[in-house]
Amino acid sequence: MRVKAQVKRIQPEIAASQKPPASGRLQSTEKIIAIGASTGGTEAIKELLMQLPAAVPGIVMTQHMPAGFTRTYAERLNKMTRLYVAEAKGGERILPGHAFLAPGGHHLIVVRSGADYLVKLSDAEPLHRHRPAVDVMMESVALAGGKNVLGVLLTGMGKDGAKGMLDIRNHGGYTFAQDEASCVVYGMPKEAVLCGGVDQVVELDKMGAAMLEKIKTMGSGNRL
């Protein structure tokens, strides 16, 4: 019951952030990728981002990590990958080739502004005992991006992200989960599979290629 109550308190903030375009205005066709992880996720995210080219659609990421560690982790990823990676501060436009990491102690929410996706930070209470929580980020991405979203859930303990992955699928997006053999802990991906939130289960070392292949089928639409 407590988890349901937490979700109900966070959901109005997410919903209020999503402003549908005025009638007759062009809706966004930009693709966006949402990545969630926990135990073992720091290395898994690094390995995945290293597989991706600089022209990949914009990325938002939630890794369960306390405040004070996410900035240095993002800086390390920025040096090791072809992407611009940074700890989110709020207000950033999510551009191709950019990856924003939820800061420890804050939920990351994606909002629409016209045809753009923007980052917003929230101090709403923890969900599944986590802030940032993967479910919060993924639910907001599902509402903001609909069929233009790719959801990715990597290694981690618990069930955070399972509902978010299902939200992405229910809004027309496509979802990938890391396979059991390559996970440090096959908790979060397993829960997502069990609840019907996963389109494709993939080994970590093949995840980037699978994502890029799927993006090709989604058509163009990313703007600079």
CB 72 within 8 A of CB 101: no
Domain ranges of the chain: 2-16+29-215
- Token pair 């390995």: residue: 47
Does the domain made of 2-16+29-215 have the CATH classification 3.20.20.70? no
Strands (E) located in the chain:
32-37, 58-63, 84-87, 98-101, 107-113, 116-122, 149-153, 174-178, 200-202
**Set 106, 107, 122, 160: catalytic member:** 160
**Set 64, 107, 128, 130: catalytic member:** 64
What ranges in 55-182 are assigned the alpha helix state H? 70-80, 134-145, 162-170
pLDDT in tens, the chain (224 residues): 343 444 555 665 555 555 544 333 345 679 999 999 999 999 999 999 999 999 999 999 999 999 999 999 999 999 999 999 999 999 999 999 999 999 999 999 999 998 899 999 999 999 999 999 999 999 999 999 999 999 999 999 999 999 999 999 999 999 999 999 999 999 999 999 999 999 999 999 999 999 999 999 987 666 55
> Active site includes 28?
no
C-beta neighbour count of 111 within 10 angstroms = 20
> Active site includes 171?
no
- Token pair 């990676």: residue: 85
> Active site includes 199?
no
Q: How does 129-165 read in b/e, with b if 16+ C-beta sit within 10 Å?
A: ebbbbbbbbbbbbbbbbeebbbbbbbbbebbbbbbbb
- Confidence at residue 29, expressed as pLDDT on a 0 to 100 scale: 78
pTM for the structure as a whole: 0.89
